[in-house]
Amino acid sequence: MELLGLAGLGLVVYCVSALAQAITGFGLALAAIPLLVPVAGVVAAITSSVLVSIVLCGRVWWQERAAVDRAILTRTTVASAAGLPLGFIGLSVVPERDITLVIAAVILVSVVVLSIGKLPPLGPAGQFGGGLLSGALLTSTGLNGPPLVVAYQAAGLQPRSFRATLQASFVLQDAAALVGFLVLAKLDVAAVALGAGGVLGALLGWKVGDRIFARLDPAAFKRVVMVGLAITAAASATAVVL
């Protein structure tokens, strides 16, 4: 696909994905990567999501910084730094088809875990483990969200704090991952084209989704989280089959 076409694709896909993230707190990579992998490949899909996430989540983090739970953010971010190198190794040695299968598995497991209902408190140790796994998944599959979603849901964060803390976590992890992708020469023109269109689409999608988020109550919020994960799991599994 030509670069202009990739930019257009990025605009559409990331617009829809950012709308989901505005409502649930996550979903940018979960929704976008399974849709982009068949067209652009695993590496371009992952790296483009990192580019878009840095811009979108950085903007939201700044706007909603007062709602961030700094203690939980610190634990998960420090832990993720140890996981990032593990993911880089996986991305370098595991075949793309196998990574696609891992992407589908991560999403499906997340749906099952969050379908259990009220999660037991995980405490600092669980938050550290969630951060570690999140970092490893980011640089191998681009899907750093699910472990953080589980950890933050178990911590009982209210919707506004949940969303704000997730955005802060995403941008800190993505910034570190981007440095690694640059060092390893994983960022190519296809990823940049997807990311350029994706930034525009994501900003638009977030604006629409934020209006919906403002009207949700906590119970509806949890239902939207589950539906969002289920939809992206189906999309990922379909991508593997095709």
For the chain, residues with pLDDT lower than 50 are none
3-state secondary structure at position 186: coil
Closest alpha carbon to 47 in 200, 182, 151:
182
What is the per-residue pLDDT for 150?
84
What is the per-residue pLDDT for 119?
67
What is the per-residue pLDDT for 179?
94
Which range of residues forms the domain containing residue 208? Answer: 3-241
In angstroms, rounded to a whole number, what is the distance separating the alpha carbons of residues 37 and 20?
A: 19
What is the per-residue pLDDT for 168?
95
What is the per-residue pLDDT for 229?
65
Matching residue, tokens 């994706």: 198
In angstroms, rounded to a whole number, what is the distance separating the alpha carbons of residues 223 and 85?
A: 34
What is the per-residue pLDDT for 122?
75
Please answer whether residues 30 and 6 qualify as being in contact, where contact means their C-beta atoms are separated by less than 8 angstroms.
Answer: no
Neighbours of 123 (CB within 10 A): 12
Neighbours of 214 (CB within 10 A): 10
What is the per-residue pLDDT for 6?
92
What is the per-residue pLDDT for 209?
87
- The end-to-end CA distance of the chain, in Å, is 18
In angstroms, rounded to a whole number, what is the distance separating the alpha carbons of residues 134 and 142?
A: 9
Please answer whether residues 45 and 96 qualify as being in contact, where contact means their C-beta atoms are separated by less than 8 angstroms.
Answer: no
- List the Cα angle 52/53/56 in 5-degree steps: 85
Split into its structural domains, the chain has a count of 1
Supply 219's token pair: 């119970």
What is the per-residue pLDDT for 83?
94
